[in-house]
């Protein structure tokens, strides 16, 4: 009998998954991590308020890109599309994209491809403003093109009254995959549940910065996790990883996320394939 090509059914629950959290203080960050089994809910069936409140949201966004493996086409076509989307979602005066990352479970040896990250994390610590404000000094190539598209100078970025990093994640493979991306509702955790660590391995941008590892909650269901079932190429998840206003208020400015192993899918059949961009949203 031929195997069914239909994806497994998903209701209110996307799947159960084992998440890898950071070791809690005072243990060294590199110490034994916490393995926590959680229920990952199907975000399509949930009533979520949007990225500015819970940290993430699904957005309908068709693209003119034809080859998602072509880095030059992504830079020429998708960067301006992503900037326009980020301006619309945030109300920012300008939005800058100058690099991207493609992810696969079997990464090729090329500059903009990385494996999915299984650690529960968010991309930037509270001190990221100093990096973001100076990131466009003396830029050339794609960085200079981003400034030109937005009519900005590096001085405008440095002087911005507010900076937000909105990340855009797009599934470029089958709707059901082995390592989908899951997101934690930012309303269900506290700033103290994040531990900064120095990160030097991100292939886009080339700068070292402090990221955040998330510590396991006291109860497994304290953090509420979601994933979007059967994402199409005409959808993106927008999620916030930095906001200077929230940092100043000592509020949760990050959105924990990680790749999860979908137990319904055999590893690599099909493997994860995705594209992500970090958009620096500038409020003047």
Write out pLDDT tens, residues 40-94.
Answer: 999 999 999 999 999 999 999 999 999 999 999 999 999 999 999 999 999 999 9
pLDDT at 114: 82
In this structure, the number of other CB atoms found within 10 A of the CB of residue 270 comes to 15
pLDDT at 202: 56
Cα-only R_g, the chain: 18
Q: Check whether 268 has a pLDDT greater than 60.
A: yes
| Element housing 150 (H / E) | helix 142-150
pLDDT at 34: 84
124-162: b or e for each residue (b if 16 or more CB lie within 10 Å)?
bbbebbebbbebbeeeeeebebbbebbebebebbeebeb
- Alpha-carbon distance of 129 to 135, in angstroms, equals 10
Q: Check whether 146 has a pLDDT greater than 60.
A: yes
What pTM, to 2 d.p., does this model score? 0.92
Q: Cis peptide leading into 270, omega within 30 of 0?
A: yes
Tokens of 58: 């699904």
* Domain range 14-283, CATH architecture: Sandwich (2.60)
| Residue keyed to tokens 């099909």 | 270
Question: How, if at all, do strands 101-104 and 113-114 pair?
Answer: parallel
- Alpha-carbon distance of 6 to 9, in angstroms, equals 9
| Element housing 131 (H / E) | helix 129-134
């Amino acid at each position: 009998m031929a195997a069914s090509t239909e994806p497994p059914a998903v209701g209110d629950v996307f799947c159960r998954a084992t998440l890898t959290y950071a070791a809690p203080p005072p243990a060294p960050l590199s110490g034994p991590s916490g393995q926590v089994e959680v229920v990952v809910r199907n975000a399509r069936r949930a009533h979520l308020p949007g990225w500015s409140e819970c940290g993430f949201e699904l957005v309908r966004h068709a693209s003119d890109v034809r080859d998602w493996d072509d880095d030059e086409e992504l830079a020429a076509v998708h960067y301006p599309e992503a900037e326009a989307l980020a301006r619309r979602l945030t109300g920012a005066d300008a939005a800058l994209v100058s690099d991207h990352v493609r992810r696969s479970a079997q990464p090729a040896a090329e500059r903009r491809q990385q494996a999915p990250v299984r650690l529960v994390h968010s991309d930037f610590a509270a001190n990221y403003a100093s990096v973001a404000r100076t990131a466009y000094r003396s830029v050339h190539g794609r960085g200079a093109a981003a400034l030109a598209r937005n009519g900005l100078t590096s001085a405008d970025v440095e002087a911005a009254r507010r900076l937000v990093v909105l990340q855009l994640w797009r599934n470029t493979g089958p709707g059901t995959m082995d390592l989908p991306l899951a997101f934690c509702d930012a309303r269900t955790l506290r700033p103290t549940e994040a531990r900064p660590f120095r990160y030097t391995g991100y292939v886009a941008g080339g700068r070292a910065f402090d990221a955040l590892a998330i510590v396991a909650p006291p109860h497994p269901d304290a953090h509420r996790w979601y994933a979007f079932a059967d994402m199409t190429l005409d959808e993106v998840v927008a999620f916030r990883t930095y906001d200077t206003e929230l940092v100043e208020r000592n509020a949760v400015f990050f959105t924990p996320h990680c790749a999860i192993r979908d137990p319904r899918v055999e590893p690599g059949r099909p493997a994860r394939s995705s594209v992500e961009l970090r958009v620096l949203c500038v409020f003047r």
